[in-house]
Amino acid sequence: MRRGAAFAILLGVTACARPASAPAPEREYQRVGPLEISALVERDLADVLGSVDLMNTGRDTVRLEYAGQCAVAILLYDASGSGAPRWDSSAWWSAQGDCPATPMTLDLPPRTLARVVAPLLEAARILGDSLPRASYRAELRLRLMQPRDTLLLLPAGDVHFGGSSASSLAAHGRPPYE
């Protein structure tokens, strides 16, 4: 694994601390070879976090490589989910000059889960950039270079910014935040 990749890739089963009674969020899965892939965007009081889970369901180790931190991008769409993205974290990070393009590589053993985490975003910075307070449909975009060059758009749930809507983490038994 390359230097700096430790914060972006977590091996093993990792999970947020949720109360036992809270249901896990529904996820849609896509397959790329032996990899089963899903995504989730969550929000707490101050931050928005996007993550992609990659499960190697095969019998052999899979080399996972993606094109760097901004290859994992949070896309926000109007609540309907239609049309072009209203906001793209990779474009935002690139405009800030904070988007390292060093490829990240990991060998994923059989029956192992890896979590690739998008760079952490402050909710206030997203709203201050160009978005009004509202609910948005989220996707994560991930460009894999290995096991094969693939661009994935993964449904990642809803994100709520202000108003009377609770944050996405409230669905997991946490209090709503504005």
Q: Where are the domains of the chain?
A: 9-13+27-172
Predicted confidence at residue 133, as pLDDT, reads: 87
Give ∠ CA 47-53-58 in degrees, rounded to 5: 170
Predicted confidence at residue 10, as pLDDT, reads: 40
Question: What sign has the CA pseudo-torsion 77, 46, 141, 11?
Answer: negative
Is pLDDT above 80 for 70? no
Name residue, tokens 């926000």.
76
> Can you name the residues that pair with 115 across neighbouring β-strands?
10, 53
16-63: pLDDT as tens digits: 333 344 445 577 888 988 999 999 999 888 889 999 999 999 999 999
Helix (H) or strand (E) holding 124: helix 123-129
Domain 9-13+27-172: CATH architecture, name and number where available: Sandwich (2.60)
> Contact 139/93 with Cβ under 8 angstroms?
no
Q: How far apart are CA 111 and CA 175, in angstroms?
A: 34
**pLDDT-derived band at 11, boundaries 50, 70, 90:** very low
Instruction: Tokens for 170, please give them.
Output: 């409230």
Question: What sign has the CA pseudo-torsion 26, 27, 28, 31?
Answer: negative
Predicted confidence at residue 77, as pLDDT, reads: 93
> Contact 54/116 with Cβ under 8 angstroms?
yes
What's this model's pTM, rounded to 2 decimal places? Answer: 0.73
User: In angstroms, how far is CA 171 from the centroid of its own chain?
Assistant: 17
DSSP designation for 167 = P
